[in-house]
Amino acid sequence: MVDLRLEATVNGRKISRTAKPHQRLLDFIRDDLNLTGNKEGCGAGECGTCSVFVDGVLMKSCLLPVAKAQGAQIDTIESLAKTGELSVLQKAFHKAGASQCGYCIPGMVMAATAALRINPFADREEIKERLGGNICRCTGYQKIFDAVELARDVQNGRLPATALLETDTEDGEVIGKNVRRIDAPSKVSGKLKYAGDMTMPGMLHVQVLRSPHAHARIVSIDVSAAEAMDGIEGVVTSADVPGQDGFGVFVHDQPVMARGKVRYVGEAVAAVAAEDAMTAKRALAAIKVVYAPLAPVFDAEEAMRPGAPVVHDYAPDNITKHIPIRVGDVEKGFAESDLVLEETYSTQAIEHAYLEPEAGLSYVDPDGVVVVVSPSQNITHHRHMLARIIAKPISKVRFIMSPVGGGFGGKEDMIYQGMLALLAMKTQRPVRLVFTREESIISTAKRHPSRTTLRMGLMRDGRIRALDMRMVCDGGAYGLSTEGVMRKAAILAAGPYVIPNVKVDTYGIYTNNTPSGAFRSFGALQTAFATESHLDIAAERLGLDPFQIRRINAMRDGATTHTKAKLGTVSLTRALDAAEKASGWEAGSPTMRGGTRGDLAHDDVRPAVSLGARFAADGKGGKQEAAE
Amino acid sequence: MLICDEYLTPASLTEAFAAMAQHRGRYRVVAGCTDTLPWAREGRAGDVNIPALIDITKIPELNELRIDERRVRLGAATPIQRFLDDAALGHALPATPRCAVWFADDQIRAQATIGGNIVNASPAADITPCLAAHDATLELASLQGGKIVKRTMPLGEFLTGPGKTQLADGELLTAVECDALPGYGGSFEKVGHRRSLVISVVCLAVLVKLDAEGRKFDDVRLAIAGIRPIPRRLREIEDFLRSKTLTGALLEEAADLPLDLVQSRTRQEYRRDVVRGFLMRGLISAAKRAGAHPDGLTTAMEAAYG
């Protein structure tokens, strides 16, 4: 390997260092220079968390071989607030509430800085366009665009610098006020350390061997060749688990690493700790696993049929959880109804796509406490589970929650923390694992895909008499949060509506797909999609306005739900009023409308996607006809 | 992950050919690297070990830009962003700024090169249909008997299929030459799942030259991509429109010519609808930018397709 001698200027300081020829500029600034403000979100140029200036031009450092930086001037997020004072843009991000999880923010601040350098008068459309290479998963972008417009106006003197300060709080009063987030300065400056930014002296790097099979028996695992390699400090498999193996939010059906068989593509089989990640990666190739493939099952309804492949021995019917709810008599309700409608709805798996891929560190502290640092959304439960898995008293297990670079439910599962603890115990050195984006997508939970058959009986005036719902969800290979998701789905299946006769069955089913787990709304999305779509169809059939049919059935203050929850106040009708007003809704049944809608032509409706705002700008904040 | 033993940055064509000769069979030529690095990841090529990467972007000849009345010559390492930053270039090649703004994002455009986009030969490449509309010719160089020998080839011949070109072993794409078309109106239509960093489901490059009064088509050039293995010039429509008077009815007639263009494996019906809409919108936008007389385009049409 021919190392490079890299001479460059980084954040105003000349550097002269050796670099590996295959390193990317991102690796060099993060690993070698320890400038961890810019992040790696995808490694493929899609997300922009790694955006840095190269000779004043913004580029994605994950796409730049480090040799391309030879002789260049590199400026990272750390260059913007070098004296400790935040830049105008950083202050504006703070003021506007533009940072939430914060992981995309260093790249976003860099892109915004570039946009306003190129056109200090850029309008909102041009700002959107110039920030097109950066993805944020939390904010929905509006607050980010607000922040860039605020910074632009302050820089141009249209607004005073005091516009960047907090103005709303008086006498320490914060409720109902627009307060700035106290953690925003650490995020807009790139100073906040996420797990993947943290290092420890003597730290080892972890890589994970994953299953290429959806369903297979593990005949044997031979790690001896990997263990014998130079630079390898430890290899672990399920055989290294000293206690009772198994984790999960409800049922502890998932081993730390595959035990006896693999149940989905991407399941962890073994983990290696080495002096560097490349060495660990090479060792993975030296682990010999013999698999005996088993018949897989990929469809939840097929998995429910007799004779289907069994994913877990404890659940021979592949049912992770069935939640039945019965109120009144639905058949009687249908008999009394003027209209009975039946439809089947389906929703797909969805990846959370938080900008921060999973990462964690583990070490054994001087008192023998096994410590795990990770962006876990459920550290107390993890601590209890890990204590049992590694057979230690709870006082000898500690979980530290690192800043979560986006979770949305996807970081509730103890998918990798167990492996890290085992490696820290085995090597007695700190260990760190940083997932790639691909690894994150292949191995962690998704939203439950669902298929819902819904039958609803209604009176001619729109009142719902009966609802019968059967929802089958693909829970994937392990239980994770499936039980809770099925419960919540069943609880919310009938919507916020008064329905005298209700029958609901929700099923979470084991298959050999990627496990499904917690995801924002936790089951409500799947059933609400069915119920609300159904109400729209019913409105069309009954000649009612879709708002109207919901008002007719809406629960009011003091209502009792189909699961016997007594509701003090119900805000549904107020929410409907507000939505109707805000949308400029054209009243009437869907059947009364022709081929065009009259309620789409107002300022709050987004125009069709286009690009080219920059062609119309004259660079002074005004507009002129596109002239080329 | 892309692993290499050596990363070479030759400073001249001679040095580049020397490096290619020295590492024969064990090298890969790279330019912007914006496609190479994502390619070497799990799910695509996975971990790839290439002994020598030869980066040709620092060769001065490959960064040259020459514009005269008739032709424009662009070095193959010209970054895509240059179409937006260099006003003279955008003036000479009027469809290119409209195309470039849809290409990846501002950051990747600063790095990705024209040559890389051509040699990759993706059916969804954005720059190739645009250059095809500008009648691009490629200059290919190789080392023969110790001498650098060059040949030229029209872009349409060079591309032979998805990922396939006529680039010979040991040969480098060094420059692209196009007709200079100042005074033409240009447009570029593209649709994908989002507006930045998106692969074209359909894209269309349009160039229109009108007579002095802005009433008649003097020249039309159209190239479509994303729906076929390689970009296709729409000469049938070009010939149909040339010398005719610009009216809405004429454009509708042109967009309805029975051409079977969509060869995609998926969503053919949708793409057919898009192609028709793009022809209308692209021709209207390009005609407007070429100075169309207001009589030719009704406001109703502009509202429907603009």
Nearest to A133 among B5, B55, B105 (CB): B105
Alpha carbon of B247: minimum distance to chain A alpha carbons (Å)? 22
**Which residues have C-beta within 8 Å of that of residue B93, sequence separation ≥ 6?**
B72, B83, B134, B178, B180, B181, B186
The low-confidence residues of chain B, meaning pLDDT below 50, are: none
Best interface-test mutation with A: which of B9, B49, B105 has the largest number of A CBs within 10 A? Answer: B105
ipTM above 0.85, yes or no: yes
Query: How do residues A165-198 score in pLDDT, each as one tens digit?
Result: 977 666 777 777 778 899 999 999 999 999 999 9
Best interface-test mutation with B: which of A63, A109, A141, A434 has the largest number of B CBs within 10 A? Answer: A63
- B102 touches A at CB < 8 Å: yes
Report the pLDDT averaged over residues A146-158. Answer: 98
Nearest to B6 among A2, A48, A51 (CB): A2
Listed residue (A475, A448, A453) closest to A345, CA to CA: A453
Query: How do residues A392-424 score in pLDDT, each as one tens digit?
Result: 999 999 999 999 999 999 999 999 999 999 999
- The first and second tokens of residue B50, run together, are 């290439």
Nearest to B108 among A133, A611, A614 (CB): A133
Asked whether the beta carbons of residue B107 and residue A133 sit closer than 8 angstroms, the reply is yes
Residues B102-116: b if buried by 16+ CB within 10 A, e if exposed: bbbbbbbbbbbbbbb
Give the pLDDT of residue A618: 52
Radius of gyration of chain A (CA): 28
Residues of B in contact with A65 (CB under 8 A): 7, 30, 33, 37, 53, 55
Distance, in Å, from the CA atom of B26 to the CA atom of A373, rounded to the nearest integer, reads: 43
Alpha carbon of A257: minimum distance to chain B alpha carbons (Å)? 21
| Structural domains of chain A in order of their starting residue, each with its CATH number | 4-74 (3.10.20.30), 88-167+179-192 (1.10.150.120), 206-294+358-442 (3.90.1170.50)
Query: How do residues B151-182 score in pLDDT, each as one tens digit?
Result: 999 999 999 999 999 999 999 999 999 999 99
Alpha carbon of A394: minimum distance to chain B alpha carbons (Å)? 38
Q: Which residues are bridge partners to A360 per DSSP?
A: A433
Listed residue (A469, A473, A484) closest to A510, CA to CA: A473
Asked whether the beta carbons of residue A45 and residue B7 sit closer than 8 angstroms, the reply is no
CB A402 within 8 A of CB A198: yes
Distance, in Å, from the CA atom of B76 to the CA atom of B116, rounded to the nearest integer, reads: 8
Residues of B in contact with A133 (CB under 8 A): 104-108, 196-197
CATH classification of B2-55, choosing from 3.30.160, 3.30.43, 1.10.260, 3.40.50?
3.30.43
Confidence of residue A111 (pLDDT cuts 50, 70, 90): very high
Burial, B291: exposed, middle or buried (Cβ in 10 Å; 0-12, 13-18, 19+)?
A: middle
Give the pLDDT of residue A617: 67
Residue A605 amino acid letter: V
CB A25 within 8 A of CB A68: yes
CA dihedral of B99, B101, B103, B106, whole degrees rounded to 10: 160
Distance, in Å, from the CA atom of A63 to the CA atom of A45, rounded to the nearest integer, reads: 6
- The first and second tokens of residue B47, run together, are 């971990």
Residues of A in contact with B51 (CB under 8 A): none
- Report CA-CA distances (Å) from A296 to A53, A257, A311, A348, A614: 49, 19, 8, 20, 53
Best interface-test mutation with A: which of B1, B4, B7, B208 has the largest number of A CBs within 10 A? Answer: B7
Give the pLDDT of residue A437: 97
Residue A363 amino acid letter: Y
The chain A residue lying nearest B40, using CA atoms, is: A44
Helix axes A379-389, A417-427, angle to 10 degrees: 50
Query: How do residues A512-560 score in pLDDT, each as one tens digit?
Result: 999 999 999 999 999 999 999 999 999 999 999 999 999 999 999 999 9
- B94 touches A at CB < 8 Å: yes
Report the pLDDT averaged over residues A93-118. Answer: 97
Distance, in Å, from the CA atom of B135 to the CA atom of B155, rounded to the nearest integer, reads: 8
- The first and second tokens of residue A153, run together, are 């106006």
Instruction: Return the CATH fold of B185-305.
Output: Enolase-like; domain 1 (3.30.390)
Asked whether the beta carbons of residue B4 and residue A22 sit closer than 8 angstroms, the reply is yes
- A129 touches B at CB < 8 Å: yes
- CB contacts < 8 A, A to B, total 115
Q: How much is the mean pLDDT over chain A?
A: 95
- A64 touches B at CB < 8 Å: yes
pTM attached to this predicted model: 0.95
Residues of A in contact with B53 (CB under 8 A): 21, 65
**Which residues have C-beta within 8 Å of that of residue A190, sequence separation ≥ 6?**
A36, A37, A38, A76, A77, A78, A105, A106, A109
- A133 touches B at CB < 8 Å: yes
Nearest to A133 among B2, B90, B106 (CB): B106
Query: How do residues A242-289 score in pLDDT, each as one tens digit?
Result: 999 999 999 999 999 999 999 999 999 999 999 999 999 999 999 999
Longest dimension (CA), chain B: 64
Distance, in Å, from the CA atom of A332 to the CA atom of A466, rounded to the nearest integer, reads: 8
Query: How do residues A59-98 score in pLDDT, each as one tens digit?
Result: 999 999 999 999 999 999 999 998 889 999 999 999 999 9
The chain A residue lying nearest B110, using CA atoms, is: A59
What is the sign, positive or negative, of the torsion defined by CA atoms of A587, A593, A597, A598?
A: negative
Alpha carbon of A248: minimum distance to chain B alpha carbons (Å)? 27
- A60 touches B at CB < 8 Å: yes
Quick check: A628 pLDDT over 50? no
- A412 touches B at CB < 8 Å: no
Q: DSSP of A186-238, one letter per residue?
A: HHHTT----GGG---TT-EEEEEEE-S-SSEEEEEEE-HHHHTSTTEEEEE-G
Distance, in Å, from the CA atom of A138 to the CA atom of A136, rounded to the nearest integer, reads: 6
Nearest to B41 among A43, A58, A59 (CB): A43
Q: How far is CA A608 from the centre of its chain?
A: 27
- The first and second tokens of residue A496, run together, are 């916020």
User: Helix count (H) and strand count (E) of chain A?
Assistant: 18, 20
Which has more pLDDT, A564 or A592? A564
Give the pLDDT of residue A622: 44
Nearest to B106 among A62, A130, A439 (CB): A130
Listed residue (A193, A236, A242, A200) closest to A362, CA to CA: A200
Give the pLDDT of residue A102: 97
Cα B11-B13-B19 angle, rounded to 5 deg: 80
CB A435 within 8 A of CB A43: no
Q: Which residues are bridge partners to A5 per DSSP?
A: A18
Asked whether the beta carbons of residue B90 and residue A614 sit closer than 8 angstroms, the reply is no
Give the start-to-end residue ranges of the domains of chain B.
Answer: 2-55, 60-179, 185-305
Distance, in Å, from the CA atom of B2 to the CA atom of A476, rounded to the nearest integer, reads: 32
Strands (E), A477-609: 501-510
Asked whether the beta carbons of residue A132 and residue B2 sit closer than 8 angstroms, the reply is no
Enumerate the H helices of chain B as residue ranges.
Answer: 13-22, 36-39, 82-85, 87-92, 96-100, 106-109, 114-120, 127-133, 155-158, 235-241, 248-255, 268-289, 299-305
Asked whether the beta carbons of residue A60 and residue B108 sit closer than 8 angstroms, the reply is yes
Describe the strand order of the beta sheet including A13-19 as a list of residue ranges. Answer: A13-19, A4-10, A73-75, A51-54, A57-60
CB B18 within 8 A of CB B64: no
Tokens 């650098």: give the residue: B148
Residues of B in contact with A58 (CB under 8 A): 106-107, 110
Nearest to B38 among A44, A51, A628 (CB): A44
- B22 touches A at CB < 8 Å: no
- A51 touches B at CB < 8 Å: yes
Listed residue (A596, A416, A454) closest to A538, CA to CA: A454
On the CB side of A164, how many CA atoms lie within 13 Å of its CA? Answer: 22
Class of domain B60-179: alpha beta
Confidence of residue A626 (pLDDT cuts 50, 70, 90): very low
- The first and second tokens of residue A459, run together, are 């009176």
Enumerate the H helices of A97-180 as residue ranges.
Answer: 105-118, 124-130, 142-155
User: What percentage of chain A exceeds 90 in pLDDT?
Assistant: 90
Give the pLDDT of residue B306: 67
- Report CA-CA distances (Å) from B225 to B129, B158, B162, B203, B277: 6, 15, 12, 5, 15
CB B237 within 8 A of CB B221: no
Interface of B with A in 125-184 (CB under 8 A): none
Quick check: A625 pLDDT over 90? no
Distance, in Å, from the CA atom of A575 to the CA atom of A455, rounded to the nearest integer, reads: 26
CA dihedral of A474, A480, A486, A492, whole degrees rounded to 10: -120
What is the sign, positive or negative, of the torsion defined by CA atoms of A370, A376, A381, A385?
A: negative
Quick check: A623 pLDDT over 70? no
Distance, in Å, from the CA atom of B52 to the CA atom of B213, rounded to the nearest integer, reads: 57
Residue A342, classed as helix, strand or coil, is: strand
Asked whether the beta carbons of residue A22 and residue B7 sit closer than 8 angstroms, the reply is yes
Residues of A in contact with B34 (CB under 8 A): 45, 60, 63
Distance, in Å, from the CA atom of B123 to the CA atom of A414, rounded to the nearest integer, reads: 42
- Tell me the Ramachandran region of residue A353: left when phi exceeds 0, alpha when psi lies from -120 to 50, beta otherwise: left
Distance, in Å, from the CA atom of A130 to the CA atom of A115, rounded to the nearest integer, reads: 6
- B38 touches A at CB < 8 Å: yes
Asked whether the beta carbons of residue B110 and residue A58 sit closer than 8 angstroms, the reply is yes
Distance, in Å, from the CA atom of A163 to the CA atom of B10, rounded to the nearest integer, reads: 51
Nearest to B106 among A58, A65, A610 (CB): A58
Give the pLDDT of residue A600: 72
Residues of A in contact with B45 (CB under 8 A): none
User: Helix count (H) and strand count (E) of chain B?
Assistant: 13, 14
Q: DSSP of A389-425, one letter per residue?
A: HTT--GGGEEEEE---S--TTTT-S-TTHHHHHHHHH
Residue A444 amino acid letter: T
Enumerate the H helices of A36-141 as residue ranges.
Answer: 88-96, 105-118, 124-130
Q: DSSP of A1-36, one letter per residue?
A: ---EEEEEEETTEEEEEEE-TT-BHHHIIIIIS---
